[in-house]
Amino acid sequence: MPPPSSSLITLREAAERLGVHYMTAYRYVRTGRLRATREGVQWMVDPGDLTKVPAPAPTGRAQGSARAARPATLAARMVAGDEAGAWGIVEGALASGADPAGVYLDIVVPALESVGDGWAAGTISVADEHRATTVAQRLIGRLGPRFARRGRKRGAVVLGAPPGDLHSLPTAIVGDLLRGAGFEVLDMGANAPAESFAETARTTSRVVAVGIAATMSGRDAAVRSVVRALRHAGVTAPVLVGGAAVTGDDHARRLGADGWSGPDGRSAVAAVERAVRGGPDDER
């Protein structure tokens, strides 16, 4: 039985979800790679059929252009509040060979940065930003299980944003990357009280690091309060500070931390792995 017309999407929407040009999607229809029905002047597609389209294997400039366009396309879908379209871009990247970590670091994070830049520049509204954040949260929720690893964990990492810092996405993303690297993660989320950091780190077994993500400027005192609470509770695991509001290793150490987690998610995972090995914090 064919799906009801209300559940169908246009071929142009299908092209966006597949991450290909409209004419490429039309060629898929003409060659039988993608089923579609004609309704008036529109080709309509069952979204469930998109997963059956063999991933194209572009090379050279075409492949690079397609990859480069994904963050901007994802940002547009997020701002529009189009979770299905945004997830289609993610699925297209995964089908093309990207791993979940690559999707986060090379597509989702640049898309979020683009949205943030647009908000700061006044080119997108507060409503746009909230829609984009909600879609990003749902994408992370769907990607998260792909980072699960079986077997003994390499240790626990406590993550969170300090009091007054309202951004939870950075720790959610880094948390998944750390889970993929074999760590247990306790994510305190946004605006976590200093005492909650300390209690969680003190009562959790095999804590190998505590990560504090400061993404909002002017929160230095809040970060220091978390570090003090951890020290007062007797937590001996290295405390790493990062996020957009932390400029480098010197800044992190002035906040009382043992080191800087680095400028991005990859460096944050590397910093935790160095902490486990007992290597120097400033190897970057």
Q: In this structure, what CATH number is given to the domain that contains residue 36?
A: 1.10.10
181 vs 76, 132, 155, 157, 187, CA distance in Å?
A: 31, 28, 11, 11, 15
Contact 140, 172 (CB under 8 A): yes
283: in domain: no
Residues 249 and 222 in one domain: yes
User: Consecutive sets of 10 residues in the chain, 284 residues long: mean pLDDT of each?
Assistant: 68 82 74 83 87 62 62 94 94 90 95 90 92 97 93 95 96 96 96 98 97 94 98 97 94 96 93 81 40
Do 82 and 117 sit in the same domain of this protein? yes
| Domain finish residue from 94, 112, 145 | 145
Asked whether residue 70 is domain-assigned, the answer is: yes
57: three-class secondary structure by DSSP: coil
Residues 128 and 88 in one domain: yes
Q: Are residues 170 and 246 in the same domain?
A: yes
Tokens representing 144 are 């998260």
186 φ/ψ angles, rounded to the nearest 5 degrees: -115, 105
* Residue 141 and residue 108 share a domain: yes
Measured distance CA(176)–CA(204) in Å, rounded: 18
Domain count of the fold of the chain: 3
Return the amino acid letter for 240: L
- Residue 4 is predicted with a pLDDT of 57
Distance of CA 252 to the CA centre of its chain: 23
pLDDT for 187: 97
81, 131 in Cβ contact below 8 A? Answer: yes
Q: Is residue 172 part of a domain?
A: yes
Residues 211 and 234 in one domain: yes
- CA–CA distance, 262 with 248 (Å, rounded to integer): 7
Residue 14 domain boundaries: 5-52
**Domain identity same for 128 and 19:** no
User: Looking at the structure, do residues 217 and 256 belong to the same domain, yes or no?
Assistant: yes
Among residues 130, 145, 160, the one where a domain terminates is 145
pLDDT of residue 164: 96
Closest C-alpha to 160, from 242, 262, 272: 242
Q: Which of 251, 263, 261, 255 is nearest to 230 (CA)?
A: 255
The CATH number of the domain holding residue 120 is 1.10.1240.10
- Give the DSSP H/E element, type plus range, for residue 188: none
CATH number at residue 188: 3.40.50.280
Q: What pLDDT is attached to residue 3?
A: 53
Same domain, 242 and 183: yes
pTM value?
0.75
Together in a domain, 249 and 189: yes
Amino acid at residue number 173: I
- Within 13 A of 129's CA, how many CA atoms are on the CB side? 15
